[in-house]
Amino acid sequence: MPKRLALTAAITLMALPLCVAAGAAGAADGSAPTAAKAAEAKPYKVEGGKVDPGTYNGYRRYGESCMRCHGPDGAGSSYAPDLTDSLKHMDYDAFAETVINGRKNVNTANNNVMPSFGTTEDVANYLDDIYGYLKARSDGALGRGRPQRIGD
Ligand code: HEC
């Protein structure tokens, strides 16, 4: 269905700057869910080791798109940094900027490339969830492994 695909792509392109802008502006108007989420002290909910649906979705998206480089549970690998550590000093905006645009650290000593996910819908559309999951890991609110969902 090329027509639907094109539409989805257009929506993604339109939504991206909005997400990033909403993150930057905080919940100035309090209307957009993204803005509300970014303004909350914690972008995740963990109750008795169980997580809200967004955080669970973030866990799944992380596993699909990030784990092969950043290792299980966000804990890093020999190739890519420990994101549970990165998010101790990186805010949502810096995180989003890196994931959307990617980053290269290539020189004689390094050949580290963080791909750009700006056009990867499975990532770009769920940045909040991925951030929430990694933030929960970073804060020590969530342990390693597959979390259970609240209510399950
Ligand atoms: C192909 C391997 C690869 C994949 C896949 C990948 N990354 Fe990365 N990522 C890297 C590398 C390498 C770096 C370090 C780049 C540098 O040295 O500047 C990095 C850096 C980062 C940083 C900056 C960390 C810091 O401390 O500055 C963030 C945030 C990040 N990645 C998030 C993600 C997320 C979220 C995903 C999944 C959507 C992902 N990455 C997928 C390789 C990858």
Give CA–CA dist 119/16, Å, rounded. 9
Name the pTM for this structure.
0.79
The Å distance, Cα 20 to ligand 1 centre, comes to 18
| Mutational test site, ligand 1, from 67, 114, 119, max ligand atoms within 8 Å of CB | 114
Q: Which residue has a Cα nearest atom 16 of ligand 1? A: 105
Q: What is the pLDDT of residue 152?
A: 85
CB-based contacts of 114: which residues, under 8 Å, 6+ apart? 69, 80, 98, 99, 102, 103, 104
How confident is the model over 15-43, as pLDDT tens digits?
555 444 444 444 455 455 555 555 557 99
Long-range pairs for 9-12: beta carbons < 8 A, 24 or more residues apart = 9/119, 9/121, 12/119, 12/121, 12/124, 12/125
Instruction: Provide residues with CB under 6 Å of ligand 1.
Output: 65-66, 68-70, 79-81, 83, 86, 95, 98-99, 103, 105, 112-115, 117, 123, 130
Asked whether residue 131 carries a pLDDT value surpassing 60, the answer given is yes
């999951």: which residue's tokens? 133
Q: Which residue has a Cα nearest atom 40 of ligand 1? A: 66
Six token digits for residue 6: 């094109």
| Mutational test site, ligand 1, from 62, 65, 70, max ligand atoms within 8 Å of CB | 70
Domain range for 120 is 2-149
* Residue at 15: amino acid letter: A
The Å distance, Cα 29 to ligand 1 centre, comes to 32
Q: What is the pLDDT of residue 7?
A: 52
Contact 66, 131 (CB under 8 A): no
Q: What is the pLDDT of residue 98?
A: 98
How confident is the model over 53-110, as pLDDT tens digits?
999 999 999 999 999 999 999 999 999 999 999 999 999 999 999 999 999 988 888 8
Weakest-pLDDT range from 11-15, 24-28, 122-126? 24-28
Q: What is the pLDDT of residue 22?
A: 46
Sign of CA dihedral 140, 76, 90, 130: negative
Q: What is the pLDDT of residue 142?
A: 97
Q: What is the pLDDT of residue 20?
A: 47
| CATH code for position 56 | 1.10.760
Quote the number of domains for the chain: 1
What is the DSSP pairing of strand 148-149 with strand 50-51?
A: parallel
